[in-house]
Structure 1
Amino acid sequence: MQLSVIILNYNVRYFLEQCVLSVQKALEHIEGEIIVVDNASTDESCEMMKQKFPEIKLIRNSENVGFPKGNNIGVAHASGEYICILNPDTVVAEDTFEKLFNFCHSELVSESNTGIIGCKLIDGTGQFLPECKRGVPTPWVAFTKIFGLYKLFPRLKWFNQYYAQHIAENENGEVAILVGAFMFMKRDLYLQVGGFDENCFMYSDDIDLSYMVQQLGKKNYYFAETTVIHYKGESTVRDATYRKRFQEAMQFFYGKHFKKSVLFDYIMRFGSFVFSFFKKSQQQNRVVLVDEFVVFTKNSDLKFEALEEKKCTYLSDFNLFDSDSKKNREVIFDTSTFSFKEITSFMQSKANQKCTFKNYLANSNYGIGSNHANDRGEVKILK
C-alpha cells in the first residue's frame, strides 16, 4: 500500500466529514487507506463516520489522549509505505497526494534523504498561513517571534527564521519545521524517531518531530505546488487550558533540546504566557454582515431556502463573479459540482475582496467554513 492518511478527530464532526470526502477523492488513483482516530468526541463524530463512511477504519479512544498519542495509535494501525498526518479541519485537493509522490520521486530531492514534506496551507478566508514553513525555534528565533521582531525585519536572516521567510509562499524549498496539520513522510522514518513524543500533550509536538527527523540528517521540505485549506483554530478553544498547555509545550521542547538556563527559562515562561494570551484574545466569533450570497453550482435544481432573506445569485462559472463589487459577499460552493482544487484556487484569488466562504456538501442542509484564521468554524444552515 502506498499511503495511509491518519486523521485525529476531536469534536469537529462537520469538518471531519468534509475532510474525509476530500481525502477519498485525492486517493482515487492511489493505493491508500484512511484511518480516523477519535479522541472521545461527544458531538456524534463517530456516529457520522459509521453511517456515512462504514468502510473506513475508525479507532475510538475512551478518553482524549492528546495529539501525539492519538496519532501514534493511528500510525500503529497503518499499512502504507508513506503516511500523512492530517488535521480533521483541513481540505486537500484532488491531486495533492499525486503531486507529493511526484515530488518525492523527482530529481529535485533525494528520496532516501527526504524527511517530512509539508505543503502550502491557507485559512478559511483564502489567506496564506505562514506557520506551514518554519525554522527551528532556538532561543533567539523564539524571541524574535514572541516579540514580533520578524515583522519589523522580514528580509534579515537574523530575524526572519521563525517563518522561514527566505522561502516565498509559492516556492519549494528546504525548511526545518513543518506544521502538524499536514505532514507527509515515510512510515518507517516516523517509527524510527519514535513518532510524536507522548510526553507532550499538544502544540510543540510537530516542532519536536520535525527537529528529531532533521537530527537524523534528513531534509524536510516545504512543497508549494499544492494547497490545502486549514480552518485553523477549529479544533482548539483558546481558553485557560489552552494557555496552560501551550506554555507547558514550549517548556517541554526547550527542556528536551536546549541547555537549561534560569534566565532563558524565565524569558520563555513570560513570552509563552504573553503569546498564548495574545492568541486567546484574537479568537472571537466575528459577526460578518452579509449583503449578498453568491452560490456556485452547476446543478440548476439546487436552491437554498434559508438564504432567501438576502439577495442570492446562483452562478455556474467562476468567471461570472463580479470582482469589482464593494459588497460584503458570502460565497457558497457546491462541492458536488466544483472540485476542491477549483474551490481552493478561487478562494486564494479572492482572499482580499470582502468575501467569506462556505462549502456545501451534497445531501446535507448546511455549509461550513471559517470567517477568520483565529475564529472557530461556522456551520450555516442552508435549507
Structure 2
Amino acid sequence: MDVSIIIVNYNTFEVTCNCLASVFENTSGVSFEVIVVDNASSEINPEKFISRFPLIRLIKSKENLGFSGGNNLGIKHSRGSVLLLLNSDTILINNAVKLAFEQLNSDKKIGCLTCSVLNLDKTPQGVLGRFPSIRQNLISICRIEKFVKRYHQDTYKLGDKFDYKTPQEGDWIWGTFFMFSRAVLNQFPNKKLHDDFFMYGEDLQWCMYIKQNLGLKVVFTPEPKIFHLHGASDTRKYIEKYKQWAFPNFVKTLRVLKSDTYAFFYVLTFVLQRLLVRGNSEVELSYYTQQLRYFFK
C-alpha cells in the first residue's frame, strides 16, 4: 500500500462526501486506501459513509478527539508507507495524491509536504510559513522590511506574500494537505503525531519537530492542486478560532520546543508589533497582552 489518506469528519457529512468523491475520481497510478475517522458526530449515522463509498475504511470514535487525536486514530489503523492527512473541506482538482507522493519520494530529506491549496476563485492560500519568532517581530517593529527587495520578502516571509508558483522550502505547512512517510512518523515519540492540542497549532508543532529535531525539510510543491473551502469544517469566525486555539497553542509550542524565556519575549514583541505596526484595536491588544500572564503563574 502506497498512501493512506486519512480524513477526519465531525458533523460535516455532505462536505466530507464531496471530498471523498474527488479523491476517488482523481486518484490513479498509486495504490491507496481512504480512512474516514468520525469524531463522534451527532449529525448523522456515520455508517452512511459506507453506503455511499463502500471502499473506505470507517473508524468511529466514541468521543471527539479533535484534529490531531482523530488523525492519530486513523493512523493507528492505516497500512500505507506514506500518510496523507486531508481536511474534510477540500476538493482534489487533479491527481494530487500521486503527484505529491512522487515528489515526497524524490527526496529522502523531505519530512513533510503540502501542495497548491486554492480558494474557489483559484487564488492561492498561504499554506507555507515561517516559524513564529522574536526576530521576525523585531524586523517588523523596526520597519526593516521596506529596505528589502520584494522578491526577497516573498521567500523570507512566505505566508500570503509568496506566489505559490514554484517549489519552496519553508518552516511549517498547514494540516489541510499534510503528507509524510511512515518512516518519519516512526521517529516521533511513541510513533505517533503530537496530540497535545485539541485543534489548531498542531501542524506548527509537528513541523517544528520534523525540522528542528529530525533535521528534515518542510516543502511546498505546486503541481498537486486542491480546493479548500477554508472553514466549512469549522464555522466559527477565524479571529475567534485564532484567539481560542491557535495563538495559545503557538505559544505553548514555543515553550516546549524553545523555552519559557523565548516564548515570553515572543509574546512581548508580538504585542509591540501589533501596537506599533498593525494598529490593532484595544480589545485585540488586551487579549494578546493577557497571554503574558501565563508566564507568571
Which runs of structure 2 are paired with 1:1-383 in the superposition (5 Å)? Answer: 1-44=1-44, 46-106=46-106, 110=107, 112-130=108-126, 132-141=127-136, 155=150, 157=152, 161-163=156-158, 168-194=163-189, 195-215=192-212, 216-236=214-234, 237-238=236-237, 243-261=243-261, 262-268=264-270
> Any unmatched runs of 5+ in structure 1?
279-383
What secondary structure is seen at the aligned counterpart in 2 of 1:192?
A: coil
CA distance in 2 between partners of 1:51 and 1:271 (Å): 52
CA distance in 2 between partners of 1:70 and 1:139 (Å): 32
Runs of 4+ in 1 over 6 A off after TM superposition: 143-146, 148-154, 269-272
Q: Higher RCO, 1 or 2 (CA under 8 Å, sep at least 6)?
A: 2
Instruction: Name the structure with the higher helix share.
Output: 2
CA distance in 2 between partners of 1:269 and 1:104 (Å): 38
Deviation of residue 247 (structure 1)? 3.1
CA distance in 2 between partners of 1:39 and 1:125 (Å): 30
- TM-score, normalized by length of structure 1? 0.62
What secondary structure is seen at the aligned counterpart in 1 of 2:150?
A: coil
Deviation of residue 183 (structure 1)? 0.9
CA distance in 2 between partners of 1:171 and 1:189 (Å): 25
**Aligned sequence identity (%):** 24
Deviation of residue 41 (structure 1)? 1.7
CA distance in 1 between partners of 2:62 and 2:219 (Å): 35
Which residue type is aligned with residue 229 of structure 1? F
| 1:57-84: CA deviation from partner (whole Å, max 9, x where unpaired) | 1111122211111111111111001110
Which residue type is aligned with residue 124 of structure 2? F
**How many residues are treated as equivalent by the alignment?**
272
Larger radius of gyration: 1
Partner of 1:301: none
> Any unmatched runs of 5+ in structure 2?
275-279, 285-297
Tell whether the 8 Å contact from 1:150 to 1:159 is kept in structure 2 after alignment: no
What secondary structure is seen at the aligned counterpart in 2 of 1:97?
A: helix
For the aligned residue pairs, the C-alpha RMSD in angstroms reads: 3.3
What secondary structure is seen at the aligned counterpart in 1 of 2:156?
A: coil
Closer/same/farther in 2, CA of residues 140 and 94 from structure 1, 3 Å limit: same
- TM-score, normalized by length of structure 2? 0.79
CA distance in 1 between partners of 2:229 and 2:15 (Å): 9
